[in-house]
Structure 1
Amino acid sequence: MNTFPVFWQSRWVAVIGLVLVDWLLGRSTIAQSAKPVPLEVVVTTTTSPKPTPVRVRLTRAGRVVGQLPQQALGVMYGLWDHADGFGFQPDSSFYVNGRFSISLPPGTYELFLSKGIEFIDQRHQLVVQAGKTQKKSYLLTRWIDMAARGWYSTDGHVHIRRSPREDPLLMSWLQAEDVRVGVLLRMGDFWETYYPQYAFGEPGVYQRENHLLVAGQEDPRTPELGHALGYGASDKVRFSKEYYHYDAVFDQLHALGGVTGYAHHAETFHGYRGLTLDGLRGKVDVLEILQYCVDANPLRTDHYYHLLDLGFPVTATAGSDFPWCGQDHDHGSPEHSARIGNARFYVYTDKPLTNQAWKAGLKAGHTVATSGPMLDFRVNNARPGDHLDVKKGTKLVISAQAFGHATQVPLEKIELVGHGKVLASVTKREPGQSASQLTLKLDLDTLTRGIWLAARCFAGSQQAAHTTPVYVTVEGGGFHNPETAEKYLRRSENYLQEIEQELEKESQNPELRLWYYKKGLKSRIADTREVIEGLRKKLR
């Protein structure tokens, strides 16, 4: 039996009805206020009204918006050629060809825009209002234009597989980082290869306007001798049955028109051992001296100066090693994650950019490696990589300029280096100098013997640059350093002994196969020792 009076029954029905109506209206209001609102963004540059490829990162209250616009440019990438990423980059940013639209719930957002180290990064606050389509236009500004000076940015170490279908998308990735030449490296190890490229040489070149995609290789790669590089050859080279005989690969790459060298400063994976074996026998053209794979300091020159002081010309290069390495990569900060172009080198050519012009500049050593600062370095008007022969007593007029941006690439110091020693330096605190430009001039009088000369620069957090040297010889002599020659020759011998010790360690570990190639490597060690003895006599 119902004991509630009819009056109270009707009141409860009314109250419940009002609550229900109020709840429904509230939900409707909330739903209306939370209804996603279209946001349309267009990004151009101060030099062109056309939308430009750009890197975008969108956050709300410090958290990344986990939604990709339809216009995001997705390409599969990942460690060991796995599908670890596609549309989002490791720091949760994405690439677009200058415009995108996305629907977002009303609220306050932060929009980050960047286009490589020559453009000024932008950060904008976006207030998305309910029921109102947001249309935003942004203009990116260069703080320097190196291509206009004949210097073309190159990321010499990118690992992404590709076919002709991916080329346009990957090209936009490069353009979004303002990388003019991207070298996509087929990577190998003792068992197999990763990141395949559909073609090498000219058939593997994809060009859009003033940008190039080219194929190369990082192979052989071993933990005992380091990681080898090959650029510009007309085909890939791999000798699976002679895997630890790097020199055989280098010889064939040279025969195919390429250049060869070592990655990761020749520091990790005992690369200095391989560099000694191959470098002292004149088979090394380039060395990756700047990269974020070793530690927070991207510039490492110990093994570079080793070869230079012994009289071997080696070209300075750099590369991101995307997607493996990022600035401050061990700390996991999104802002410092792996990024194409975070370490790069610039190649000079006075011709329009083509694969052939780029290769010619690289082979000539006309390079500057950098993670931010830009350098202009001349010795009697000779450029980095040039060989300058002078008469005894000749005066050398040396000039070096560093260019940066007061907030994005704040310069600290520029140094002139000769035979590994700092001959002169200036800092931003000295009269006439600033965080955006440093100038250094020096005259070397009455030159009596050869010397290699280079410029290097240090800027804001973990930013540095280093030129390939100008190699100065006197009346046909060498540019080696007799003061350090014996030290470096002894060090070379120590590295050879390290290899010999490893050769005696027979191991069933499939990653450590150096011992299996004992006979061939002992022969190469003997050849290198002959070179060392010859240098000992010659460089006194």
Structure 2
Amino acid sequence: MHRTSLPVVAIYSFLMSGFLFLFEVKSTLAQAQQTGLLKLDIRDGLTGKLTPVRVRLTRAGKSIIETPNQTVAVSYGLWDHADGFAFQPDSSFYVSGQIKLQLPPGTYQLTLMKGNEYINQYHTLKIKPGKVFQKTYTMTRWINMVARGWYSADDHIHIRRSPRENQPLMDWIQAEDINVGVLLKMGDFWETYYPQYAFGVKGNYRQGNYLLTSGQEDPRTPELGHALSFGATGAVRYGKNYYYYDNVFDELHKRGGLTGYAHQAESFHGYRGLTLDGLRGKVDMLELLQYCVSSHPLHTEYYYHLLDLGFPLTATAGSDFPWCGHDHDHGPPEQSARIGNARFYTNLDKPFSYESWKAGVAAGHTFVTSGPILDLRVNKTLPGDRIALKKGDKLTIKAEAHGHPLQTPLDVLEIVAHGRVLGRVTKNDPGQSSGHLTIEIELPSVVHGLWIAARCYGDSMQAAHTTPVYVTVDEGGFYNPETVETYLNQSTSYLLELEKELDMHQDNPEFRAWYYKKGLKTRIDETRQVISELRSKLKNH
């Protein structure tokens, strides 16, 4: 009985599997007849090749619920959690140049984006049942900054990276047209997040004019702010001396890195750390433009503070993805939480490489932007350059801003020196427009040193600012004699703030400055000595 039942079971199983197969085929054919197929190629206007882009596909204002198989996906999230994968925070997604997706019949809205220099495209698609909607779109630039010698960078990306993530992340930064994407290992007093598999040259991944590299946002404390660094051959972390940022900065400098403060030194009392380390010459750069503090990305208060005291400081910018962005969950995708929504450009005097880019940043040949393009020349020198004059020499200052009338409309361009506006034009002035602003002024007789920068504003969410040109007269400094006393007093008040913090024993484990009171008090005293010496020196001048 047992032997004769086996063939019956086998035959039954075979018939059932065949029936299920035929049912699935029939269901698939029925579904194909009920849906339409979307097939898109997206190509670059200069090369004609398929190019990575960011895509947003909606229907009646709602995002589609699935992405095509061609989506370039990487796990990302706050605190290194897996909060997102295929979709970006604004429901867009990345592809390498092709889309193939079955969609229910209907009318869809397609947005194609490729960073600030390319013109966004908006298309209406009508998908019909059983039909193929096939199209090729070409992305075109409204400006080509690489051709002008300027390379974009986002210095603040938080995604954990092993070598396996290199290619998809490369597609992401190419889709945003970011030449250098800096992926930051993040830390706090207790732990580190977003690990990077290597630093320095060993942590680089390059394709043509695009580069992934590693850096760190560590130390990070609520009492002193968030430290930022990239370009070092290795990460640096001193867990037992966590609040002594200067120890980290000194070692990072030895390893070839550049150091500074994130978030415009506004968040987490970063102005205290910037005072403590900046006045002692430990800081190279400040993240001047970002969407973490507010929807207005440019905040200059603490930047001008150090500049007016005579300390050079390179302007950089970064998105702090996936943490920061205007209207994080909804609203215009152009300013959502995304890589490259805040970026900086660096001018290179050599062909693009990791080393030439680092050298350009170190020289201060930068401007930060959320859209507008700036060009500043002071006696034909670049931002970050130093000009040595004799009393009575003249200066010629020229600034230009470029924008796109629909995508990046310009409003105001200003030349500032010591924080004061020397020249200003608007889009409504004769010869000016929302696509191009220009201003040229001459200082016929310079009598004291100064720093000179250009800044530009578009709408409330678009701005740009250059690193200054530093002008000295008769071998003096470039500090601002009119504000130096005020800023020295403010610096002293920030140190007093920190001292009060040290006297407060905190049960909250996130606040540990009191635990390092002795060492921080020594550093405060050193900074007070610097302030005293500056006050004496600058009074005599």
Aligned residue in 2 for 1:309: 308
Aligned residue in 2 for 1:242: 241
Aligned residue in 2 for 1:126: 125
Q: What SS class does the counterpart of residue 443 from structure 2 fall into?
A: strand
Aligned residue in 1 for 2:13: none
Q: What SS class does the counterpart of residue 247 from structure 2 fall into?
A: helix
Matches of 2:44 and 2:519, distance apart in 1: 56
- 2:327 and 2:337 in contact (8 A); partners too: no
1:447 counterpart = 2:463: no
Aligned residue in 1 for 2:324: 325
Q: What SS class does the counterpart of residue 520 from structure 1 fall into?
A: helix
Aligned residue in 1 for 2:396: 397
Aligned residue in 2 for 1:463: 462
Q: CA RMSD in A?
A: 1.3
Superposed CA deviations along residues 488-508 of structure 1, whole A, max 9, x for unmatched, are 000000000000000000112
- Output the amino acid matched with 2:514: W
Matches of 1:337 and 1:428, distance apart in 2: 26
- 2:316 and 2:368 in contact (8 A); partners too: yes
Query: How much has 1:475 moved relative to structure 2?
Result: 2.1
Aligned residue in 1 for 2:368: 369
Matches of 2:468 and 2:31, distance apart in 1: 65
Superposed CA deviations along residues 112-144 of structure 1, whole A, max 9, x for unmatched, are 100001011011000112221111110111010
Q: What SS class does the counterpart of residue 539 from structure 1 fall into?
A: helix
Matches of 1:170 and 1:334, distance apart in 2: 23
Matches of 1:314 and 1:203, distance apart in 2: 28
Query: How much has 1:67 moved relative to structure 2?
Result: 1.1
Identity over the aligned pairs, expressed in percent?
63
Aligned residue in 2 for 1:64: 63
Superposed CA deviations along residues 6-35 of structure 1, whole A, max 9, x for unmatched, are xxxxxxxxxxxxxxxxxxxxxx9xx67971
Superposed CA deviations along residues 243-262 of structure 1, whole A, max 9, x for unmatched, are 00000000000011111000
Q: 1:155 to 1:32 in 2, by over 3 A?
A: closer
Matches of 2:332 and 2:458, distance apart in 1: 21
Query: How much has 1:164 moved relative to structure 2?
Result: 0.8
- Output the amino acid matched with 1:373: P
Q: What SS class does the counterpart of residue 166 from structure 1 fall into?
A: helix
Matches of 1:314 and 1:328, distance apart in 2: 30
Matches of 1:139 and 1:333, distance apart in 2: 25
Q: What SS class does the counterpart of residue 445 from structure 2 fall into?
A: strand
Matches of 1:127 and 1:333, distance apart in 2: 24
Where do residues 228-307 of structure 1 align in structure 2 (5 Å cutoff)? 228-307=227-306
Where do residues 521-540 of structure 1 align in structure 2 (5 Å cutoff)? 521-540=520-539
- Output the amino acid matched with 2:159: I
Aligned residue in 2 for 1:166: 165
- Output the amino acid matched with 2:425: V
- Output the amino acid matched with 1:116: G
- 1:216 and 1:230 in contact (8 A); partners too: yes
Matches of 2:294 and 2:33, distance apart in 1: 45
Q: 1:123 to 1:461 in 2, by over 3 A?
A: farther
1:176 counterpart = 2:175: yes
Query: How much has 1:337 moved relative to structure 2?
Result: 2.6
- 2:90 and 2:330 in contact (8 A); partners too: no
Query: How much has 1:461 moved relative to structure 2?
Result: 3.7
- 1:34 and 1:106 in contact (8 A); partners too: no
Matches of 1:165 and 1:317, distance apart in 2: 28
- Output the amino acid matched with 1:171: M
Aligned residue in 1 for 2:220: 221
Matches of 1:44 and 1:180, distance apart in 2: 18
- 1:295 and 1:328 in contact (8 A); partners too: no
Matches of 1:34 and 1:489, distance apart in 2: 74
Q: What SS class does the counterpart of residue 175 from structure 1 fall into?
A: helix
- Output the amino acid matched with 2:523: R
Matches of 2:318 and 2:358, distance apart in 1: 16
Aligned residue in 2 for 1:142: 141
Q: What SS class does the counterpart of residue 163 from structure 2 fall into?
A: coil
**Which is worse superposed, 336-345 or 184-193?**
336-345
Matches of 2:252 and 2:154, distance apart in 1: 20
Query: How much has 1:539 moved relative to structure 2?
Result: 1.4
Q: What SS class does the counterpart of residue 391 from structure 2 fall into?
A: coil
Superposed CA deviations along residues 304-354 of structure 1, whole A, max 9, x for unmatched, are 00000000000001100000001244x743634311000000011022211
Query: How much has 1:82 moved relative to structure 2?
Result: 0.2
Q: Which has the larger radius of gyration?
A: 1
Query: How much has 1:460 moved relative to structure 2?
Result: 2.4
Q: 1:129 to 1:312 in 2, by over 3 A?
A: same
- 2:36 and 2:105 in contact (8 A); partners too: yes
Q: Report how many aligned residue pairs link the two structures.
A: 511
Aligned residue in 1 for 2:413: 414
Q: What SS class does the counterpart of residue 459 from structure 2 fall into?
A: coil
- 1:33 and 1:106 in contact (8 A); partners too: no
- 1:92 and 1:334 in contact (8 A); partners too: no
Matches of 1:304 and 1:460, distance apart in 2: 22
- 2:236 and 2:252 in contact (8 A); partners too: yes
Q: 1:364 to 1:33 in 2, by over 3 A?
A: closer
Aligned residue in 1 for 2:45: 46
Aligned residue in 2 for 1:22: none
Matches of 1:174 and 1:165, distance apart in 2: 16
Matches of 2:135 and 2:371, distance apart in 1: 29
Q: What SS class does the counterpart of residue 394 from structure 2 fall into?
A: strand
Matches of 1:113 and 1:36, distance apart in 2: 23
Superposed CA deviations along residues 97-125 of structure 1, whole A, max 9, x for unmatched, are 11110011111111110000101101100
- Output the amino acid matched with 2:153: T
- 1:383 and 1:470 in contact (8 A); partners too: yes
Aligned residue in 2 for 1:207: 206
Matches of 1:462 and 1:134, distance apart in 2: 36
Aligned residue in 2 for 1:505: 504
- 2:187 and 2:220 in contact (8 A); partners too: yes
- 2:35 and 2:102 in contact (8 A); partners too: yes
Gaps of 5+ in 2: 1-26
TM-score (norm 2): 0.93
Aligned residue in 1 for 2:353: 354
